[in-house]
Structure 1
Amino acid sequence: MEFTELADYAISPGMLTEWLPEATGTWAQDERPASYIHEAHLRPTADGTHDDGRESWLGAAFRIAGPLDHDAFRRAARTWIDRHEPLRSHAELGADGRISRHTLGPGGVDFDEVRHEYEFDTATVLERVHHLFDELTSPHRWPAYLFVTLEHSDPEAGCTVFFAADHSLIDGLSVVLVAHELTSLYTEAMAGPPALLVPAGSYIDFGADERAAAATVDRRHPAVEVWRQAFLRSKGRLSEFPLDLGPRTVERVPQRAVSEWVLDAAQAVRFNTVCHRAGQNFLAGVLACLAEANTELTGNTVFRTVTPVHTRNDPHWATSLGWFVGLAPIEFDIAGAVDFADVATRAAEAVAATKSAAKVPFARVEEILGTPIRPRFVVSFMDVRFVPMAQQWPEIEARALRSRHYTHDVYIWVNRTPHGVNISARFPETPLATENVLRFLARTRRALADVVPSTPDEDPQASAVGADAYATTGQ
């Protein structure tokens, strides 16, 4: 599934309905704590990057066939909310700095359904949906999520479903599950086959378990040592983007987003074959290509980034809605590397060496080290080929969405899907940053292509990257 901003999604004219959750049950005090990353999201940062929590949402868009049955959609959405407890719970930061939680039981949420009984043009749809998502998904309010449905007749009758939730409720893997789960429940509500969804554990329970485990972590823990060494090697400046982005200003800098399919499905298989013949996995191969781009463009043979790592380490959390993400610093040197296999091996060793870091919430590491962890260059990789309904994503125009952002940082997402590999990125929308990030992405794309044999039966070693690719070339 491609991760893009709402403005890049193909929107048809049509009639909008806003589905605004409202509590119909009784709120009960809930002693379970917020997860570390949720608490960090609620608390303001020294640099003010969290503002009031607005524009920190993730979402999904997808189409369902035929005219929308409003009653069936309401039943499906209510069932989905009952399935995922975080959608019925609210953690609030009080004036005393303490976090309290209140939770509704199953069946405790319904919808205020706001129908616009006239057709909006495309620009108005985009403006309205964007406004709703930006204004109504703050982590400091409940609900921090909503649906919007768009009924359209051009080119054929159908409906687009838009969903957004604050990041505290949802992560990248959660997002790609939304289309399957809601479509299955809607089909069931329309008297179709039962949804048969795999039971989902509650992220609130995960947060409580995480807190209990993190309480035993001290300065001697391997994860703490990984971060300490990362700070020492980087002189306290974690994972800056390797090319010049221009000065970091005090004003909010709007970000630009780009997205591109860099390998089709067959090329991705061949890339994976090369990686496996080198004894490594797909992620190591991707990191190797990023490192090559870094070296060719900067002359620096050391590649450094921070990568998100999922924390769904028990099958109980496999289909849960929540923010199951840890962070790990990655650093490796490709000086003297003789071929792609050598570079991929170094990348894999770096991943293995820091894997333990993601097992401890980075906010807990911050507490122990007394140092904020603020990565400025992040590379994320997800393999979503086996997510239910993944094969149908192009057919139903399913996309993962993210809010606009205003920082000086660079984020790169690499996603392997049944249809190939997509790379998307977000970076400061300034001339210098745009030029240099696009240069870096173009060089990474070329490195990926160089690894892939031109035909399936070609010897992958013929496409391996030679030692001369790592020569110091400057910018």
Structure 2
Amino acid sequence: MEFTELADYAIPAGTMTEWIPSVGPHASTPVLAGWQPDDRPTSYVHEAHLRTSLASPRRGKESWLGAAFEIDGPLDKPAFRQAVLAWIDRHESMRSHASIDEDTGELSRVTAAESAIDIWQVEQERCEQSSEVFEHLQYLFDEFTSPLAWPSYAFVTVEPLPGRGPDRITVLFAADHSIIDGLSTVLVAHEISALYAEAKDGTAARLFEAGSYLDFGVSERRVHAELEHTHEAVVTWQRFLDEGNGELPAFPLDIGTPNGHHTAQSGLSAWILDAERADAFSVSCRKTGNSLFSGLLAALAVGGAELSGDTHFRTVTPVHTRDQPQWASSLGWFVGLCPVSFDIAGAESFGSIVAQATEQVTATKPVARVPLDRVFRTLGTTAAPRFVVSFMDVRFAPMAEHWHDWNARALRSKQYDHDVYIWINRTPRGVNISARYPNTETATTNVHQYVAALRRILDEVVDTGTATLPDRTARGRRLDAAASGPVATNQ
């Protein structure tokens, strides 16, 4: 499943219906009506996100993730409404709201019981142009998915104009990052499709039981209530920060000068390996006792050294914290961060670099279970990630084999920061890479060169079982790499 911005998804012209949750006196019993006080705390990352949003001029706008997919038409609106309500009852985080008092800084929460939610069904006028649909969706998702208000999420269905293509309904969903992560977006298409089929045709949804993200927050707080400077996670992150003079690593190539906080970042998405070649690359990695992810990190390190001359590869990579079976199907922000640092100078083979990557990830992955905000609070630092590489193998996610037929895609909001994020997903179709980066000519050129180098290295490993390592004249190869031009994208 590709991970891109809304602008890169083919939205049809047609009629939109917004499906907006509400809490009120419509509930089945007076006890269920309205919000109930809830003393469960947020997760650490949720609290950090709330406080950052309050301090930001954007006030939590444009910090959403989402999904888009198609279902067979015509749309059965009562069945879709029933599906969304069942989904909200299934996930407690979707009927709970945490807030921070701006005067006292106190954190509090209210939660609605199951069956206490209703849906506002807002019918929009028919749009003759797909651009009109896009502009409305972009505004709705940017303005109404703030973590500072409830609901911080929304569904929209788009019924195509009669006679314009197949009778397929496009379903779009967006939620603030505080209540969902990348894997959560992958689950949405399957769950809503299954619950819709159950409501429409009586086909049992057969969804796995999902634990509550609110209970995860309680567990996380209990485990990490005390964090000493001698804790492994604190020591590891301090060492990592010291390597970067107090800063987290930046993208290995120049990305230009920051142009303020008013210009949205650029992005790219490309399929860099098909399914067969992804399997071949994985086999090459496994032959040395390592994983495909380690192979990708090794290839990124080699590519960075070729283009920059710096053999020291440093990045931050997300690691899921769904460490109990009840969290597997839950929606929430189950993500920690893992520091990655290794030097490929003197490496004898590509395989030895893959082994270095494995050794580093194995050593530092356990610290990702300790929330980074908790660690940095102990260290007294506010350093922010500037170069992040994320990897997910989603081939075995529920109904992943249908994503292509459903035109399913994970979505992200626009961003305005001076950083580079790379997401690499292994899907049933192969390996896809997405990136966002500053909207500067320098960043655009260098990020495309970096991805082109990665693709070339992966192809070399697939074709030969190894990759050519950069020599001491690597810095001079920039001009050769530049000749390859921008990466062709498949959006």
- The alignment's TM-score, normalised by the length of structure 1, stands at 0.96
Distance 2:196 2:254 in 1: 48
Q: Deviations over 1:105-127 (max 9, x none)?
A: 00111111111253442010000
Structure 2 residue runs without a partner (length 5+): 25-32, 479-491
Most deviating of 321-330 and 49-58: 49-58
Distance 1:469 1:382, change over 3 A: farther
SS at match of 2:405: coil
Q: Deviations over 1:237-282 (max 9, x none)?
A: 2111111112234443320011000000000000000000011001
Partner of 1:144: 152
Q: Is the 2:247–2:383 Cα contact (8 Å) retained in structure 1?
A: no
Tell me the CA shift for residue 221 of structure 1: 1.1
Structure 2 residue aligned with 1:268, among 255, 278, 300? 278
Tell me the CA shift for residue 164 of structure 1: 0.4
Q: Structure 1 residue 439 and structure 2 residue 438: aligned?
A: no
Partner of 1:406: 416
SS at match of 1:263: strand
Amino acid at match of 2:79: A
Q: Is the 2:53–2:59 Cα contact (8 Å) retained in structure 1?
A: no
Tell me the CA shift for residue 20 of structure 1: 1.2
Distance 2:369 2:324 in 1: 13
How do 1:384-463 residues align onto structure 2 when only pairs under 5 Å count?
384-453=394-463, 462-463=464-465
Partner of 2:141: 133
Q: Is the 1:16–1:120 Cα contact (8 Å) retained in structure 2?
A: no
Q: Is the 2:65–2:176 Cα contact (8 Å) retained in structure 1?
A: yes
Structure 1 residue runs without a partner (length 5+): 454-461
Q: Structure 1 residue 55 and structure 2 residue 57: aligned?
A: no
Q: Deviations over 1:328-356 (max 9, x none)?
A: 11000011112211110011111112112
Q: Structure 1 residue 85 and structure 2 residue 87: aligned?
A: no
Q: Is the 1:219–1:225 Cα contact (8 Å) retained in structure 2?
A: yes
Partner of 1:76: 83
Q: Is the 1:303–1:331 Cα contact (8 Å) retained in structure 2?
A: yes
Distance 2:128 2:468 in 1: 55
Tell me the CA shift for residue 373 of structure 1: 3.5
Q: Deviations over 1:149-171 (max 9, x none)?
A: 00114212121100000000100
Distance 2:303 2:200 in 1: 51
Q: Deviations over 1:3-22 (max 9, x none)?
A: 01111101111111011111
RMSD (Å), alpha carbons? 1.4
Structure 2 residue aligned with 1:174, among 149, 160, 184? 184
Distance 1:8 1:440 in 2: 21
Over the matched positions of the two proteins, sequence identity in percent amounts to 52
Q: Structure 1 residue 98 and structure 2 residue 106: aligned?
A: yes
Q: Structure 1 residue 113 and structure 2 residue 113: aligned?
A: no
Structure 2 residue aligned with 1:363, among 355, 369, 373? 373
How do 1:139-218 residues align onto structure 2 when only pairs under 5 Å count?
139-152=147-160, 153=162, 154-218=164-228
Tell me the CA shift for residue 470 of structure 1: 7.0
Q: Is the 2:261–2:416 Cα contact (8 Å) retained in structure 1?
A: no
Distance 1:29 1:278 in 2: 54
Distance 1:349 1:470, change over 3 A: farther
Most deviating of 56-65 and 149-158: 149-158
Distance 1:468 1:149, change over 3 A: closer
Structure 2 residue aligned with 1:64, among 67, 71, 75? 71
Distance 2:8 2:296 in 1: 25
How many residue pairs were aligned? 466
Structure 2 residue aligned with 1:124, among 121, 132, 151? 132
How do 1:209-248 residues align onto structure 2 when only pairs under 5 Å count?
209-248=219-258
Structure 2 residue aligned with 1:473, among 450, 463, 475? 475
Tell me the CA shift for residue 366 of structure 1: 1.0
Q: Is the 1:17–1:148 Cα contact (8 Å) retained in structure 2?
A: yes
Q: Structure 1 residue 12 and structure 2 residue 22: aligned?
A: no
Amino acid at match of 1:186: Y
Tell me the CA shift for residue 44 of structure 1: 2.8
Tell me the CA shift for residue 376 of structure 1: 0.3
Tell me the CA shift for residue 427 of structure 1: 0.2
SS at match of 1:304: strand
Tell me the CA shift for residue 234 of structure 1: 1.4
Amino acid at match of 1:147: F
Tell me the CA shift for residue 290 of structure 1: 0.2
Q: Structure 1 residue 347 and structure 2 residue 362: aligned?
A: no
Q: Structure 1 residue 298 and structure 2 residue 344: aligned?
A: no
Distance 2:473 2:279 in 1: 29
Amino acid at match of 2:3: F
Amino acid at match of 2:11: I
Q: Deviations over 1:70-119 (max 9, x none)?
A: 00000000000000001100001102111110000001111111112534
Q: Is the 1:58–1:401 Cα contact (8 Å) retained in structure 2?
A: yes
Tell me the CA shift for residue 466 of structure 1: 3.4
Distance 1:58 1:232, change over 3 A: same
Structure 2 residue aligned with 1:28, among 25, 29, 36? 36
Distance 1:328 1:294 in 2: 19
Q: Is the 2:305–2:470 Cα contact (8 Å) retained in structure 1?
A: no
Q: Is the 1:415–1:423 Cα contact (8 Å) retained in structure 2?
A: yes
SS at match of 1:17: strand
Amino acid at match of 2:67: A
SS at match of 1:412: strand
Amino acid at match of 2:237: W
Distance 1:437 1:117 in 2: 41
SS at match of 1:258: strand
Partner of 1:456: none
Most deviating of 17-26 and 104-113: 17-26
Most deviating of 22-31 and 273-282: 22-31
Q: Is the 2:315–2:389 Cα contact (8 Å) retained in structure 1?
A: yes
Distance 1:270 1:243 in 2: 29
